[in-house]
Amino acid sequence: MPTRQDIRNKVRMLTARKSPTQLTDTEIDFQIDNYYTGEFPLQFRSHDLRQEYSMTLTPNQDVYTIDGNSFQSVEPICYVEGYPTLFVMDRTLLHALFPDIRQDVSVGTGTGVAGPYTFTTQVPATPILKGSVLVYSDIAFDTQTSVVDDRTGNLVQLNTDGTFGTVRGTINYQTGVITALTFDAVVPTGTDIRCQSRQYQANRPTTVFYWVNEQQTGQLTFRPVPDKAYNIRIVSYNYPILPASSAAVPILNQWWEALAYGASMKIFENNKDLKSAVEMEGLLERKLNLLGRTEWIQLRSQGTKTIYNTPMNTIGPGYGYFGYFGNNW
């Protein structure tokens, strides 16, 4: 069984740096781990890194984040309590299926002060979608007389760069009641104060939308918004977990030489020995092709699925968007 020391020895032979004075174990281990957790899972899309990800949805919570440092990607199709859902990555398509229409209503008038104000935003009282609330004064739409919700029940003033600023009040998403709202400027007497928001009817989700936000964090958005707790299952490709001990070996024993080639390639790159780096990349590619044969053998009994030989496995009008049932289970 190969050990971390075997990987180090292989790297020393490949780089012709056999002495620790030329290349320390610490430097080798860094490049091994750097390649293992960064480039290796992207170059080698191994089924051994594919797992079933399970989580529980919270009532009236529609958006859930996925750790981008743990997951390379999530794959169709998502199951909600065993029911398959549409898997969407196109926001236009999501809004075609579930229109993002906001109501804009008057909730009160200014009294010559900045606040505090208390309003009820909707009639009838159906839940408000988190992240959809905008309250503003009709006299001048600017950051001083407008607030948005932060998805946690706070009404906040937006900074000029679009980030959340000072908390100016609170909103109850279930009742629509806005409490203790204080703007950053006086609202003249009689000036209309309005609220934009989106209401929804909660139910079992039938569609999941995958998106990467501005912070490069993956998000799963469920529609309809869950009305109760639901278990979901979805296939994910993970990044390999970095061993807790520097002496630990990779997940599978047969990966060890690939890690040595990858680490050696990084070492040549750092020393600007690009010719040797290219040569090492060729050896690495050959090794990755050999490792990939285990997956080819595993899949050889599976015929290629198309819209013609799996007609019962397609859903909805957009086969290209949704994939097919049985793709991952």
Q: Which residue has the tokens 């490949």?
A: 14
- Tokens encoding 216: 């490069």
CA distance 153 to 167: 10
Q: Using the predicted structure, report yes or no on whether residue 143 has a pLDDT greater than 70.
A: no
Confidence band (pLDDT; 50, 70, 90) for 3? confident
pTM: predicted TM-score of the whole model, two decimal places: 0.76
More confident residue, 102 or 302: 102
DSSP state, residue 317: S
Confidence band (pLDDT; 50, 70, 90) for 84? very high
* pLDDT value for 312: 46
Question: What tens digit of pLDDT does each residue of 280-326 get?
Answer: 999 999 998 888 777 666 666 666 666 565 544 444 444 444 443 44
Q: How far is CA 167 from CA 99, 111, 115, 148, 285, in A?
A: 29, 21, 13, 10, 54
- Taking the CA atoms of the chain, what radius of gyration do you get in angstroms? 27
* pLDDT value for 262: 93
Question: What tens digit of pLDDT does each residue of 182-210 get?
Answer: 998 888 898 889 999 999 999 999 999 98
Question: What tens digit of pLDDT does each residue of 234-268 get?
Answer: 988 887 776 655 555 676 788 889 999 999 999 99
DSSP result, 62-95: -EEEE-TTTEEEEEEEEEETTEE-EEE--HHHHH
DSSP state, residue 303: P
* pLDDT value for 248: 58
Cβ atoms 168, 157 nearer than 8 A: yes
Q: How far is CA 196 from CA 86, 104, 117, 128, 139, in A?
A: 29, 4, 16, 10, 16
* pLDDT value for 281: 92
* pLDDT value for 48: 77
Looking at the chain, list the stretches that DSSP marks H as alpha helix, in order from N- to C-terminal side. Answer: 4-15, 25-34, 40-43, 91-97, 256-270, 274-299, 319-322
Q: Among 167-171, 206-210, 270-274, 292-296, whose mean pLDDT is lowest?
A: 292-296
* pLDDT value for 317: 40
The mean pLDDT of the chain is 83
- Tokens encoding 321: 């968007």
For 150, counting Cβ atoms within 10 Å of its Cβ (0-12 exposed, 13-18 middle, 19+ buried), the class is middle
Task: Classify strands 86-88 and 207-212 as parallel, antiparallel or unpaired.
Answer: parallel
pLDDT average, residue stretch 38-61: 86
Confidence band (pLDDT; 50, 70, 90) for 214? low
Domain residue extents for the chain? 4-46+241-266+281-299, 103-197
